[in-house]
């Protein structure tokens, strides 16, 4: 049977059902079985309008519920949700009534493969995706039945994630505000809130760039061998990143041209790396506003630079010159204020590494460098300076005078 013949036959059946309105159970059950089978396997051929008409036909039948047929209709509705953006799946669940889920629709049997989802899991997936298009149709928590439990177990709530890295022709790395980090194929990053990548219409894919914010639905791994959650769908928020992620002030300590990296420190001495390709005009010894992106899965922290900032916005410290030995070629300085986040960091770092207190409250600078950064250098002089912890060649962090204000 061709696709055209199938559509014509189902149109005729629908018309006959509407006219005859059968009341005997056998005819109703037979028609329900035909509808369930055709929608499960050929709903994309029938189209959205006819598929929804057939679904309405079944829902009008007073057949036994719960039942295998009623579960088959729900399976067909899940498939329709993947193909038709005008199908309100969340609204349909209210009519189907989730209390009609059978035990075999919910329980994951031992012989079931990890990638073979139960009907309840499929419903959860389709329901969460439906809310992306129709957020006002969310089912109250008390009525979610098993789907609510499954959604909490296997899916993360929809969350904004920012692109931190793009591998040309391959994938993008996205990190959420809570630290979730995933790799997502570029073709899945779409402009519109599409439900799934296999929709009947083609998704429009923009040029993906570092700093773009996407709304992402994550599916959590079933087994212990899968380390990261996977992306179900991601679509562009088209909002400034500063509206979604926190913004702070950092200091550009070094620009590594060979690797295309910009090294930035914030007031809590955290070290971030920004891409030169996405940070035009940034220069060394400059303060910038940036979005700190900190994944929980690894130590590499990314900075998304937004623009220039006043140096006074960065936390500054008082330092005093304790010694200026031109013969030996060094100057010695000491932190004079004992409060603030840097002091707390010094204390915790000292305890964890067993270092001496003086190693974290003072430092030495080569005299030629000291005369450049400290104006009118002399013993006892007090300066306001940008100071943060920086790891030295010996891999130990110590206070580093970056700039005198």
pLDDT per residue over 285-302, tens digit each? Answer: 899 999 999 998 877 899
Which letter does DSSP use for residue 162 in this model?
E
Spell out the residues 6+ positions from residue 247 whose beta carbon is closer than 8 angstroms to its own. 289, 290, 291, 306
What topology does CATH give the domain 316-404? OB fold (Dihydrolipoamide Acetyltransferase, E2P) (2.40.50)
What is the token pair recorded at 315?
Answer: 């936390």
Does 190 score more than 70 pLDDT? yes
Phi, psi of 29 (to 5 degrees): -65, -40
What topology does CATH give the domain 159-243? OB fold (Dihydrolipoamide Acetyltransferase, E2P) (2.40.50)
Rounded Cα distance, 193 and 234, in Å = 7
Mean pLDDT score across all residues of the chain: 81
pLDDT value of residue 192: 61
Query: Global pTM?
Result: 0.66
Sketch the domain layout of the chain as residue ranges: 3-154, 159-243, 248-313, 316-404
The DSSP H or E segment spanning 152 is helix 145-154
Rounded Cα distance, 354 and 253, in Å = 27
Q: Which residue has the higher pLDDT, 246 or 153?
A: 246
Whether residue 144 contacts residue 99, with contact meaning beta carbons closer than 8 Å, is answered with no
pLDDT tier at 199 (50, 70, 90 boundaries)?
A: very low
Does 333 score more than 70 pLDDT? yes
Whether residue 404 contacts residue 397, with contact meaning beta carbons closer than 8 Å, is answered with no
Is 316-404 in the same CATH topology as 159-243? Answer: yes
Q: Which residue has the higher pLDDT, 205 or 122?
A: 122
Which letter does DSSP use for residue 68 in this model?
H
Highest mean pLDDT out of 42-46, 352-356, 365-369, 392-396: 42-46
pLDDT tier at 130 (50, 70, 90 boundaries)?
A: confident
Packing angle, helices 68-83 and 119-133, rounded to 10: 40
Measured from the Cβ of residue 186, the count of other Cβ atoms closer than 10 Å reads 16
Q: Is the dihedral of CA 130, 135, 136, 141 positive or negative?
A: positive
CATH class of 248-313: mainly beta
């Amino acid at each position: 049977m061709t696709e055209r013949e199938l559509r014509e036959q189902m149109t005729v059946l629908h018309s006959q059902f509407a006219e005859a309105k059968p009341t005997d159970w056998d005819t109703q059950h037979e028609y329900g079985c035909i509808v369930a089978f055709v929608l499960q396997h050929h709903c994309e051929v029938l189209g959205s309008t006819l598929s929804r008409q057939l679904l309405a036909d079944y829902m009008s039948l007073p057949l036994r519920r719960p039942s295998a047929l009623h579960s088959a209709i729900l399976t067909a509705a899940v498939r329709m949700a993947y193909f038709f953006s005008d199908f309100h799946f969340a609204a349909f669940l209210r009519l189907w009534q989730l209390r009609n889920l059978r035990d075999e629709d919910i329980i994951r049997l031992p012989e079931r493969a990890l990638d073979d989802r139960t009907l309840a899991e499929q419903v959860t997936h389709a329901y969460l995706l439906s809310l992306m298009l129709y957020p006002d149709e969310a089912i109250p928590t008390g009525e979610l039945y098993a789907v609510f439990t499954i959604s909490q177990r296997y899916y993360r709530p929809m969350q904004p994630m920012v692109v931190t890295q793009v591998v040309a022709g391959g994938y993008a790395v996205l990190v959420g505000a809570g630290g979730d980090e995933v790799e997502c194929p570029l073709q899945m990053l779409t402009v519109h809130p599409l439900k799934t990548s296999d929709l009947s219409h083609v998704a429009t894919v923009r040029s993906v760039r570092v700093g773009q914010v996407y709304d992402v639905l994550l599916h959590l791994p079933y087994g212990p061998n899968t380390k990261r959650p996977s992306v179900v769908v991601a679509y562009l928020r088209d909002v400034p990143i500063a509206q979604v992620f926190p913004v702070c002030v950092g200091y550009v300590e070094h620009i590594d041209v060979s690797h295309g990296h910009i090294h930035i420190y914030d007031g809590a001495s955290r070290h971030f790396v920004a891409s030169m390709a996405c940070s035009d005009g940034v220069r060394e010894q400059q303060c910038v506003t940036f979005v700190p992106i900190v994944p929980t899965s690894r130590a590499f922290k990314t900075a998304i630079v937004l623009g220039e900032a006043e140096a006074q916005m960065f936390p500054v410290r008082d330092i005093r010159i304790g010694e200026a030995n031109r013969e030996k070629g060094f100057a010695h300085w000491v932190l004079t204020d004992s409060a603030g986040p840097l002091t707390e960091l010094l204390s915790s770092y000292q305890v964890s590494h067993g270092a001496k207190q003086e190693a974290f409250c003072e430092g030495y600078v080569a005299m030629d460098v000291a005369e450049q950064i400290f104006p009118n250098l002399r013993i006892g002089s007090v300066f306001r300076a940008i100071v943060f912890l920086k790891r030295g060649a010996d891999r130990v962090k110590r206070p580093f005078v970056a700039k005198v204000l």
